[in-house]
Structure 1
Amino acid sequence: IHPINLVLKEIEEIFLGLGFKIEEGPEIELDYYNFEALNIPKDHPARDDQDSFYITKDILLRPQTSPVQIRTMESQKPPVRIIATGKCYRRDATDSTHSPMFHQIEGLAVDKDITFGDLKGVLTVFVHRMFGKDRKVRFRPGYFPFVEPGAEVDVSCLLCGGKGCKSCGYVGWLEIMGAGVVHPKVLEMVNYDPEKYSGFAFGMGAERIAMLKYGINDIRLFFENDLRFLKQF
């Protein structure tokens, strides 16, 4: 089994065990669902032709799985508790940590009285099940247009245990995902009352998780189909 499929399956099983369900969406998507409905302004760099693969003015290859969240909320009333996994595409130059095609996992929960504390609890459980109960979790302030407040989520380095080494840049932490409380404007776009409902969202790259979990230092190895590499899994 390909290491990315192994990681995707493990992540899905963790969140299914936490009461989430899996939703899917198209890889060729409307600009509206990728950006406007997510409170991403027209002058945001992600909407530039140099950063996304546009097919027409209003249609593009999705740069994130976030449109699945919008489509789900449009078709379902709260409570919502989903994860969305799949391929995404960005105009990134290929190097050891970037690929124009990658796999993303996003999660969304919307209900009455959901707080940032709920987000921290869910993601802490995920980290412990994915990387081990000895891993520490850190939440740093971060900015994403579709959440407020937003956070960057780090785990203590898998190699040095947080002491500091070359792998973690001698800081003891490794970034694994972005997250936050769903922005009220996003809820309004799907006709959810932000005075009544709140939610959290998070997103991570499967390749990033696999590289950390298996100690792989070059993302290109996942796509070169070298059997000497793939047979290790």
Structure 2
Amino acid sequence: MLTRRHFILTTTALFSSAIVAPVSAAPSSTSDRWAAWDAEVTPPDFDPARSNPWGLHPRFLPVRVEARDGLRAGDIHVDAIARYLYHIQGDGTAMRYGVAIGRGGLYAPGRFTVGRKAKWPSWTPTQNMIRREPETYAQFAGGMPPGPMNALGSRALYLYVGNRDTYLRIHGTPFPRSVGMRASSGCVRMVMAHINGLYDRVDTGVTAHLYPAEESVTARS
């Protein structure tokens, strides 16, 4: 059985710097619009290891750590207790990011497959969300178009069990200060500037392990 304590050994080097190029302020196509939105949610002179206009605890900034032997490169592991997402690399390391998880009993641990990915996705709340909080979600029953204030943010990884969409996502959030908290309706939230970097490195078909939020429960491997 694989628990949250098994797969990370020690913190090592930080991300290298990445600079975002200027983008036109007058997008004329979908790709231009996406690029403009990416620039809007990315701090100037963005360095993933140091840029922190959101006021996050420094431990939630991206960092490279050493991973336990035997973990499959490309897979994702979410430590719900520490509020970390680990993306396993092929060189024995993992990239670690801060996340927010589902509040109360809405977080759903388990083993999932990344069934698809989307840049600047649209979003529609589930019927359960609308029933649970109609004052918040009923207004979006017809869907919310893409954009920086969309609930899924800039990127989304869609979690499946077999061919079934679970409606769980790993996604960006327009509320970056929620990272480190139990804040969502079940999904795993990330800072948009962080998931933008993760997104391009994650392939569809990889496994996402979401570990329980209770110390006494052992996650499935």
Please report the TM-score for the alignment, with normalisation by the length of structure 1. Answer: 0.29
Q: Which has the higher contact order (CA 8 A, sep 6+)?
A: 2
TM (norm. structure 2) is 0.30
Structure with the largest fraction of helix:
1
